[in-house]
Amino acid sequence: MKTENVGFIGLGNMGFPMAKNLEKAGFRLSVYNRNITKTEGFSTGTAVQKDLADLVETNAVIFTMLTNDTAVSEVYAKIVELPIQGKLFVDMSTISQELSISLANQLLGKGAALLDAPVAGSTKPAAEGTLIIMVGGNESDLQRARPYLEKMGKSVKHLGKNGNGIAAKLAINYFLSIIYQGLAETVLFADQLGIARHEMLEIINDSASGSGATKVKTPLLVEENYTAAFALDLMLKDIRLAQQAGANYPLLDTLLKTYQQAHDKGLGQQDVIGIIESIRS
Q: Which element (helix H / strand E) includes 154?
A: strand 153-158
CB of 12 within 8 A of CB of 38?
A: yes
Alpha carbon of 249 to those of 179, 243, 256: distances in Å? 15, 9, 12
DSSP helix/strand/coil, 111: coil
Q: Using the 8-state DSSP alphabet, how is residue 39 labeled? A: G
Torsion of Cα atoms, 60 then 64 then 69 then 73, to 10°: -30
Distance CA 144, CA 164 (A): 18
For the chain, the farthest-separated pair of C-alpha atoms sits apart, in whole angstroms, at: 64
- Amino acid, res. 59: N
Please pick, among 169, 215, 217, 237, the residue that the annotation labels catalytic.
169
Which of 251, 229, 255 is closest to 128 using CA atoms?
A: 229
Q: Is 161 a catalytic residue?
A: no
Distance CA 140, CA 210 (A): 38
The DSSP bridge pattern shows strands 61-64 and 88-91 to be: parallel
Other beta carbons within 10 angstroms of residue 219's beta carbon come to 11
Q: Which residues pair with 116 in a beta bridge?
A: 91, 136
The per-residue DSSP string of 88-128 comes to: EEEE-S---HHHHHHHHHHHHHTT-EEEE--EE--HHHHHH
Name the residues annotated as catalytic: 169
